[in-house]
Amino acid sequence: TIAGLNGAALGGGLELALACHTIVSVPDAKIGFPEIKLASIAFPGILMLQGRVPQSRIAHMLAGGDAMDGTEAHRIGLVDRLVTRETFDADLVAYAAQFARHSRPVLNLMMRTLRQAQGHTLETGFEAGQRMYLDELLPLEDVDEGLNAYAQKRAPVWKHR
């Protein structure tokens, strides 16, 4: 999933964006966790930021309570892609299209594997990756189509199964 930030993503709005796989933003979006200003703590946000931005930036975001703009969020790795406000809709559609052209079940499996791989090394995650590859990836019809298309030097026609 892709979160598109074309305004403010504060508190729970930012948590919704962080629940997505990637975040696209305009440079002047307002992004942050103002909860501390209300004597509250963004517990889900704390957890969702882990591994996405440095620990010191998490502390600064949460303890300060001030919003940053999309440019700063991109600089620290919170936002994955910056687009202009004028071309926001078209850029977001074009960005999504690069993923939509692939086999949906393979893309979903890859994203799930990416999440499960967090905190693992090749040594600690290889067995689970191998099980996923053999038990979940290889049985998909789209795997055969992808290999056949490659061998025949043609574009694949996905069945999305």
Beta-ladder partners of 23: 3
Burial class (CB in 10 A: 0-12, 13-18, 19+), 32: buried
Active site residue 123: no
Catalytic residue among 35, 72, 136, 145: 35
Give backbone dihedrals phi and psi of 143, rounded to 5 degrees, phi first.
Answer: -65, -45
Let me know if 127 is a catalytic residue: no
Q: Of the candidates 11, 6, 2, which has an alpha carbon nearest to the alpha carbon of residue 69?
A: 6
User: What letter represents residue 43's amino acid?
Assistant: F
In the three-class reduction of DSSP (H, G, I as helix; E, B as strand; rest coil), residue 86 is classed as: coil
Active site residues: 15, 35
